[in-house]
Structure 1
Amino acid sequence: MGTTPTLDEIRTRSEELGIEFFFAQFVDMYARPSAKLIPAWNLDDFVENGAGFAGFAAGEIGQTPADPDIAAMPDLASFTPVPWQPNLARFACDITVEGEPWPYDPRTILKNMLAKAGAKGYEFKIGLELEYFLIRQRDDGSIEIADPLDTLEKPCYDLRGLTRNYDFLTTVSKYVNGLGWGNYANDHEDANGQFEQNFTYEDALTSCDRAIFFRYMVHTIAQQRGMLATFMPKPFSDLTGNGCHFHMSLWKDGTNVFLDEADPRGLGLSESAYHFIGGLVKHARAYSAVTAPTVNSYKRLKVGTTISGATWAPAWISYGYNNRTQMLRVPGPGRVEDRTID
């Protein structure tokens, strides 16, 4: 993680960019973002006291209507200018209640686990692959693929599909790269109307903050063009679903602890990486309640076929080398991909 900027540095940067408002943004246990809009003149109070919310109204975050208000406290390191709205920036926030960290805040839970790793000298890094559909809503409320010409049985990597959506995809790409996130590839995925846009891996907290903002970005740009975007795991029963694959590695003193080029099993993994895989395999059924938490999630994680001929989603607790049918795929030396996550 980089150095956290000071309040004065944030104020100066905001004035240089012409920022007039800030989003105080946090997520519930389903990663649904909530926010308040804070005028820039109130930055000092926002940083000191946070933005108040009725927690129960904001989603699943461990509160009832009888609980005290939550306060969204901005993490200054998460300062993110909103590319399509030049006078607006976003802060990812941690939730507190009566001055104490709220134990059911997903960002706080993640920070606590990363702190435990950090106390042992480790840094957990992840790269995320967020798949999504571009759709339109019919008059009767049902949905359809936004591109009526996207009808191939095997549309993955379709050149014409990319061309028809060039404006949308390149706008997202330019915004992501303008933020310094390193978008390095954009593709048409396996289902009709499905896309994926990749950016470089970072420490886990930074990557997750970026993932939340990326989804918000895609939703907003789609709506600006008369479409909707959905990251829902399985919006169409006959098409491949959306995953949010995590590519994970563990680092210490700038060295990838998961990497071992001399791995006798030939996967390029260290014994620590195999122990990591063993823990995921042992606890797969339990942790899937968090990584794939909805009924719709399990419509993706099952044996079956789609129009393209494959679901590309795991159904068994397993691991293997560069095999996309596995729950845990080893796409290359020194990292492990979890394909259950949505």
Structure 2
Amino acid sequence: MSGTAAELLKHLDEQGVQYCYVTFVDIHGASKTKCVPLSHFDAMVRGSELFTVGALDGMGLVGPHFDECAAVPDLASAIILPWDRRYCWFAADLHFRGEPYPNCSRVILKRARERAARAGFRFNLGIEPEFYIYRRTAEGLAPLQPKRFGGVTPAYDLHQMSQAQPLLEQLAGYVDQLGWGLYSFDQEGGHGQFEIDFGYADALTTADRLTFFRFMVKVVAEQHGAIATFMPKPFSDDFRSGAHYNMSLAELEGGANVFDARAGGPGQLGARYDLQTTDFCLQFVGGLLKHADALCAITCPTYNSYKGLVARGDMPDMSWAPVLRAYGRNNRSAMLRLPMNRACIENRTPDMSTNFYLAAAFSLHAGLEGIDLASDPGAPLNDNLYLEPAGRNAVQRLPRTLLEAVDALDDSEFARTVLGEAFVSLFVAQKRREWDASFYAVSAAEREKFLEFV
């Protein structure tokens, strides 16, 4: 073992850890693992744990004749489970025949980070995770809180928050204990919907944390006899669960945020469009907008995702979800928002079903291309884009379905270049199968509505 590995083993032993989860994510961002006793730690570090990835959706190497992939843990990602300190979790990279496996999501993000580093940047990312917690009742699923809010939306409601406090306190306490920089948590707009916010970090660290966070939320909900879901749109008349990506670039030397105009003032593009931001920021916006449709296939990767990307739908009021490929100053109805209180770009399309590694990787590649090409994103749209503002007809709507988004990804030579030809083909094939399975199924409600319609 290296000195670092030996030191970590000594620390884990002192902390009472007995087992290690060596974990990677599949194409959906779902965690896969083997549990390794601490006595086998030195072998685990060298990639002893093998996985037949061909048995998983969209991972490639399909067939009994292929070698397995080895999961090589990133020692810096180690997290001792706050609720059971006998276990330590590791994020791992898949390797195939001694080399990083190109269809591994974490490997794909690390390649994107290397591209940013060559340009002199570190990619920082903060994600706002929203999720629902339900109870099972005789009548079906019900919000966590036994007393349902009677108004239009329970957002920020003190009484609703207080009913959920035991569960939320436990979750927030774990986030704080892990040193992630907890700064708030709240009742969101949906009945039984919550958000826990913590600090940003480099994109790989954030993707690791959010992957672990989903695991942690599920475990804590189960401890309270409840069910946590990251389904984007559980009910048509309630809010979607977003995972807004707050992105910025920092200089590798010195760490200055190159999207922050406070020191040097706005760039030429910022001055042109009356925005207090830098040219780097607006060029990054231009790259994201250029590849928005293909990016949407990754940030909104399920059939259900697109039931949330609507202006209203069955909601009693506007959805607060983006529907247009546009950006604006602090505009929550646009795909991209330039917040007033922080120097970053907020992409509002990602939902909680996303694979955090893939969405970060493609976002970074798209933004860096925007900088390379000195892209001009055009004037911001600062009006309520749900209300037919002037110029809306010239703005393209985001994909309405998973099929539209996947077709855009399939047609994107850029995506195939930066994510890999094989990976994009695997992803597209998997998502088209999911589309077919969902689209062609006939529900009881549909049958009841149309059986004698004409």
**TM-score, with structure 2 as normaliser:** 0.72
Distance in 1, Cα, partners of 2:7 & 2:277: 41
Which is further off, 242-251 or 128-137? 128-137
Distance in 2, Cα, partners of 1:325 & 1:223: 35
SS of the counterpart of 1:117? helix
SS of the counterpart of 1:45? helix
Distance in 1, Cα, partners of 2:275 & 2:131: 30
Match of 1:328 in 2: 336
SS of the counterpart of 1:317? strand
- Matched to 2:347, the amino acid is D
Match of 1:257 in 2: 258
Match of 2:430 in 1: none
Distance in 2, Cα, partners of 1:130 & 1:62: 29
Distance in 1, Cα, partners of 2:57 & 2:206: 22
SS of the counterpart of 1:318? strand
- Matched to 1:227, the amino acid is A
- Matched to 1:239, the amino acid is D
| Gapped regions of structure 1 (runs ≥ 5) | none
Change (3 A) 1:154 1:39: same
Distance in 1, Cα, partners of 2:101 & 2:28: 16
Match of 2:102 in 1: 103
- Matched to 1:76, the amino acid is L
RMSD: 1.7
Conserved in 1, the CA contact under 8 Å of 2:144 and 2:164?
A: no
Distance in 1, Cα, partners of 2:45 & 2:96: 15
Question: 1:26-55 CA deviation, whole Å, 9 max, x = no partner?
Answer: 101111111111100000000012411111
Change (3 A) 1:76 1:134: same
Confirm whether residue 273 of structure 1 aligns to residue 271 of structure 2: no
* Identity in percent: 38
SS of the counterpart of 2:183? strand
Structure 1 residue ranges, 4+ long, deviating more than 3 angstroms after superposition: 137-140, 305-308
TM superposition shift of 1:145? 2.0
**TM-score, with structure 1 as normaliser:** 0.95
Change (3 A) 1:59 1:17: farther
Structure 1 or 2, whichever has the larger Rg, is: 2
Distance in 1, Cα, partners of 2:274 & 2:171: 38
1:1-342 equivalences in 2 (<5 Å): 6-66=4-64, 67-138=66-137, 143-152=141-150, 153-252=152-251, 253=253, 254-261=255-262, 262-263=265-266, 264=271, 265-305=273-313, 307=315, 309-332=317-340, 333-342=342-351
Structure with the bigger percentage of helix: 2
Distance in 1, Cα, partners of 2:115 & 2:235: 40
Question: 1:247-295 CA deviation, whole Å, 9 max, x = no partner?
Answer: 0000002100111132224433210111100011111011111111111
Structure with the bigger percentage of strand: 1
TM superposition shift of 1:146? 2.7
Which is further off, 298-307 or 12-21? 298-307
- Matched to 2:259, the amino acid is F
Distance in 1, Cα, partners of 2:18 & 2:319: 45
| Gapped regions of structure 2 (runs ≥ 5) | 352-454
Distance in 1, Cα, partners of 2:143 & 2:314: 16
Conserved in 2, the CA contact under 8 Å of 1:123 and 1:203?
A: yes
